[in-house]
A and B are shown apart, each in its own frame.
Chain A
Amino acid sequence: DAKTTQPPSMDCAEGRAANLPCNHSTISGNEYVYWYRQIHSQGPQYIIHGLKNNETNEMASLIITEDRKSSTLILPHATLRDTAVYYCIVRVEVGGNTPLVFGKGTRLSVIA
């Protein structure tokens, strides 16, 4: 089962920042938070990951709370092409093999 909880859907106005929350209250000290997104019927696209520090790349920023029990993915200037299902994943270490466990994700709709 997924170790994360996300709202099922969110709307965001085009050009505004999209802030997608994720709860992972049972996360362990060595587990990373990963974000992927999936545009309709395409393969999931990697966005960003982090352990405890805030991370930023060309796509997004990841803010992880100090207690690591929740995080927020920020798309600074959402466009219509950012409409997708966003998955927050806690990467569980299982004997060195780490498959991704996807939950239901958040369906983000960017509105013109």
Chain B
Amino acid sequence: KAGVTQTPRYLIKTRGQQVTLSCSPISGHRSVSWYQQTPGQGLQFLFEYFSETQRNKGNFPGRFSGRQFSNSRSEMNVSTLELGDSALYLCASSSSGGQITDTQYFGPGTRLTVL
């Protein structure tokens, strides 16, 4: 079974631009979570989607948004990019989500650099 895939793997943008990242979960998985990893803050939870609905959200500004499609694929969007948004963005999928024993499997990440 194929793992979680994320596209693109690398991205360079300039301040003020917006960016869209894509995540395809493991086949059959319906929950997709997004995380941001920076050297200063470590790995932080952004939001989680299940059945096209956002179920949980971390402490990030409204510039960070996401959505999920009927095939469980998910996108996240960051508008008005700031230098501090440079990070590794990770997507994780799980079969149903919301269960404490439901294991999340991570993709390879998208490395975003904001200049």
The reply to whether chain A is a binding partner of chain B is yes
Residue numbers of A with Cβ under 8 A of B are 30-32, 34, 36, 41-46, 49, 87, 91, 93-94, 96-104
Docked-complex contact A99 and B56, CB < 8 angstroms: yes
B107: Cβ under 8 A from any A Cβ: yes
Number of A-B contacts (CB under 8 A): 62
Main secondary structure of the interface of A (DSSP, over half): loop
Q: Which 8 A-B pairs have the closest CB atoms?
A: A43-B106, A102-B43, A97-B56, A99-B45, A96-B98, A44-B106, A43-B108, A97-B55
For chain B, give the interface size range.
Answer: 20 to 34
Known: A43-B107, A43-B109, A46-B104. A98 touches B99 (CB 8 A): yes
Q: Which of A36, A41, A45, A97 has the most chain B CB atoms inside 10 A of its CB? A: A97
B58: chain A residues within 8 A (beta carbon): 99
Report B-chain residues with C-beta under 8 Å of the C-beta of A46. Answer: 103-106
